[in-house]
Structure 1
Amino acid sequence: MRSLLFSVAIILFFPVAQCLTPKCDTRDRGSTLQILHVNSPCSPFRTKSLLSWEHSVLQMQSKDYSRLQYLSSLVAGRSIAPIASGRTITQNPTYIVRAKIGTPSQTLLMAVDTSNDAAFVPCAGCVGCSSSAAFNPSLSSSFKPLPCGAPQCSQVPNPNCGVTTTCGYNTTYGNSAISATLAQDNVTLAIDSIVGYTFGCIRTSTGTSLPAQGLLGLGRGPLSLVTQSSSLYQSTFSYCLPSYKSNNFTGSLRLGPNIQPKRIKTSPLLRNPRRSSLYYVNLMAIRVGRRVVNIPPSAFTFDPTTGAGTVFDSGTVFTSLVKPAYTAVRDEFRRRMGNATISTLGGFDTCYTVPVTVPTITFMFSGMNVTLPQDNFLIRSTAGTTSCLAMAGAPDNVNSVLNVIASFQQQNHRILIDVPNSKLGVAREACS
């Protein structure tokens, strides 16, 4: 049994054909950036050793549980640090892109997060930061700390101007506490230069959630890339996340309206003032195979006050549905499987050792249907003998009202975010 579980772990976290040489020399071009999974063979952050399947599932569950806590903290306007019993919880986003900061430029592999705004990078001398690369402000002639009177200082959490005239602030990210100086410098993405980009220069950090070389926020807030580069990219971008099974493990991030797909199904974006960073959409129903599942409408209702509704998020691994929705989808999935014996693996409660007969699952949004093939809702062992439904119910008391369409379900789809026209689009695209 342990050897079978071990083979499942391999297909999840490592490329199918490791004997092949991955194409790691792909260069960013135009306004398109290569997007890497952190465990890509091309990533310096790749896990060095194989974990047991049980440990891998526990790690993924911990990551998603921590992520949901983070999303929950956004509506509450306060920081929520996860509590773990005897184990470390990490909450780093899963995908990274190259960014060049400063004059002359220094290259960092920054995590991308569609639910976060302000960028931050570890700066030279940071206490508690990763031993990976850090940005050295003293080597950049265009680096400029922002004073307390700068308007951006009021847009960061917990600004601190008690000792100096430079704007400092304290915040949390996952289970990491961060102390940073608000600053500006030039940022280059592919061939595009953004002059005077505002970001946090991290001086101290505690915890394990901080991305090793910083974070680039793709949310909707005032300090996000989407807002700060609006004159260049018109607050429009798209991304395609590679499959975990891909040998190259790379996708793309396209910035600006001119390089987006012209024919793509879209759904209106909904705005929640209390969660201004998040990309809400109106999920109306879910279909398993050809049957629309009987789910109470209240499971999908958008409510800005409570934070209820449905969001697309790149930092959560497996889609999380509120309990009434998940239970109904899971039960219909099981019904389609007839009398086949149900087993569990780690946190997945619906697994089979016979071929799965459910061909598709469809998310039905306002204005568009997104039909997922099996690779987007099943985790399979390498030998194909075990398959698990790769979704979960929202944890009790942690974002229990929020549906999150996560990265596993988004893989090999082009996700378009068009803020000016207030729409989110989805189209199939083999980007692995």
Structure 2
Amino acid sequence: METLQLPLSILLSFLLLLLPTSSIAQNPKCSVQDQGSTLEVLHIYSPCSPFRPPTPSLSWEESVLQMQQEDQARLQFLSSLVAGKSVVPVASGRQIIQSPTYILRAKIGTPPQTMLMAMDTSNDAAWVPCSGCVGCPSSAAFASAKSTTYKNLPCKSPQCSQVSKPTCGGGACLFNMTYGSSSIAANLSQDTLTLASDPIPNYTFGCIQKASGSSVPPQGLLGLGRGPLSLLSQTQNLYKSTFSYCLPSFKSLNFSGSLRLGPVGQPQRIKFTPLLKNPRRSSLYYVNLIAIRVGRRTVDIPPSAFAFNPTTGSGTIFDSGTVFTRLVQPAYIAVRNEFRRRVGPKLTVTSLGGFDTCYSAPIVAPAMTFMFSGMNVTFPPENLLIHSTASSITCLAMAASPGDLNSVLNVIANMQQQNHRVLYDVPNSRLGVARELCT
């Protein structure tokens, strides 16, 4: 089977079909919307994103199949994090690929250089490609020599012990890491990071010198996990380890939402569920999913399907980088069967790649409620279905966790999170969700 080489190109034809046709022809003014401690979040295929590729020649069916392959690779990466391994073999021999779907503007250095960094809630350290990087995408690179506040961190710095596989080179701290299918070699560095109107001096990040593979986001990554080098840990005094985001719908004109940093301005009327702690993988945001309701019926799902186990990594996480929600097989089969029953047992069900509940005739879909400890989140049909305007196919946009990967994770993914404000309140160890129009 061929190896995927272009992880950022696979969603476009599907997304273009979801957009109003007028939006493709329009050229919206891409003025910066960042202000205070709130940053604009762009989908990688936003008209304002430089990563938006030219329209591919893929059919809708082909693009959905590729989307699923990338999502499966993202799940493989998350499974490798849970297992504490840097790389886990993929059954098909396909590269392990993960590319976050949303980007934000960050400025690094003095004078500031603007980078469009990927936002990833399942990773910690920030890193950017630096000038002269071998194997980095050619989109843009941070010119450290032009920043008067840039410095390399020495081997004896406390931060050096917090990165993976640190080594010494001329007294400077160097480290290697894997990210999806890529290997990265970087200098551990510090410089001023500016987010919206907030300058953060002496921010520790990786200045990438060498990269291989196809998973490195073109202009770097900002980790929103809970580890020691994450944004939350490095800005505790400023942002109090609190942030929220609102991810735009694929149907929105500009694919733009927002990332709100700090406790100020967060929604007051919002329900919370406790965050669970997994010492083996502290960066992932685990929650306690206890039941799923399709329409008005609570589906009969064995409790073991949702059980949280820090040793095996099983349980449920919120993740901004996975597109479609995945449930472990016993949970998914039960939910899917009830969905089919509610839509109409006499309707012909077809499949499309990993989506096994598709219809060629118009359907009326039920809402779906995910019931967490202390919080219910009801997803309307727009968060549950993907449509092809070309061939009139509608599919339930969820799937079982890939069985050949031995996946134990339920992943609440970004399509289901769209048009919701998701609030991460780490000091109080809780996560909140409220309905909000994100664009």
Instruction: Specify the TM-score bucket, using the shorter chain as the normaliser.
Output: over 0.9
CA pair 16-268 structure 1, distance change in 2 beyond 3 A: farther
Are 2:131 and 1:124 equivalent residues in the alignment? Answer: yes
The alpha carbon displacement at 1:343 in A equals 1.0
The alpha carbon displacement at 1:86 in A equals 8.2
**What CA distance in whole angstroms lies between the structure 1 residues aligned with 2:405 and 2:233?**
29
User: Secondary structure of 1:21's partner?
Assistant: coil
Map residues 258-407 of structure 1 onto 2, 5 A cutoff: 258-336=264-342, 337-382=344-389, 385-398=392-405, 400-407=407-414
Contact 2:339 2:366 in 1 (8 A): no
Aligned partner of 1:180 in structure 2 is 186
Aligned partner of 2:238 in structure 1 is 232
Contact 2:106 2:117 in 1 (8 A): yes
Map residues 216-231 of structure 1 onto 2, 5 A cutoff: 216-231=222-237
Question: Alignment partner for residue 408 of structure 1, among 409, 412, 415?
Answer: 415
Question: Alignment partner for residue 25 of structure 1, among 20, 31, 51?
Answer: 31
Question: Alignment partner for residue 200 of structure 2, among 175, 194, 215?
Answer: 194
The alpha carbon displacement at 1:12 in A equals 4.3
**What CA distance in whole angstroms lies between the structure 1 residues aligned with 2:20 and 2:92?**
28
Map residues 18-97 of structure 1 onto 2, 5 A cutoff: 18-50=24-56, 51-80=58-87, 83=90, 90-97=97-104
Give the length in aligned residue pairs: 426
The amino acid across from 2:217 in the alignment is: P
Structure 1 length normalisation: TM-score? Answer: 0.95
The amino acid across from 1:185 in the alignment is: D
Aligned partner of 2:164 in structure 1 is 157
Contact 1:233 1:257 in 2 (8 A): yes
User: Secondary structure of 1:79's partner?
Assistant: coil
**What CA distance in whole angstroms lies between the structure 2 residues aligned with 1:41 and 1:15?**
13
Query: CA RMSD for the aligned pairs?
Result: 1.9
**What CA distance in whole angstroms lies between the structure 2 residues aligned with 1:280 and 1:87?**
28
**What CA distance in whole angstroms lies between the structure 1 residues aligned with 2:262 and 2:350?**
46
Contact 1:37 1:95 in 2 (8 A): yes
Are 2:437 and 1:430 equivalent residues in the alignment? Answer: yes
Contact 1:181 1:203 in 2 (8 A): yes
The alpha carbon displacement at 1:27 in A equals 2.2
Contact 1:9 1:53 in 2 (8 A): no
**What CA distance in whole angstroms lies between the structure 2 residues aligned with 1:397 and 1:386?**
27
User: Secondary structure of 1:257's partner?
Assistant: coil
**What CA distance in whole angstroms lies between the structure 2 residues aligned with 1:143 and 1:387?**
51
Aligned partner of 1:100 in structure 2 is 107
**What CA distance in whole angstroms lies between the structure 2 residues aligned with 1:384 and 1:359?**
22
Contiguous gaps of at least 5 residues in structure 2? 1-11
CA pair 15-269 structure 1, distance change in 2 beyond 3 A: farther
The alpha carbon displacement at 1:88 in A equals 6.5
The alpha carbon displacement at 1:18 in A equals 1.6
Deviation readout 1:167-203 (Å, 9 max, x if unpaired): 1011100000000110110000000011100000000
Are 2:131 and 1:148 equivalent residues in the alignment? Answer: no
CA pair 131-383 structure 1, distance change in 2 beyond 3 A: closer
Contact 1:179 1:203 in 2 (8 A): yes
Are 2:217 and 1:214 equivalent residues in the alignment? Answer: no
CA pair 269-188 structure 1, distance change in 2 beyond 3 A: same
User: Secondary structure of 1:194's partner?
Assistant: strand
CA pair 225-335 structure 1, distance change in 2 beyond 3 A: same
User: Secondary structure of 1:181's partner?
Assistant: strand
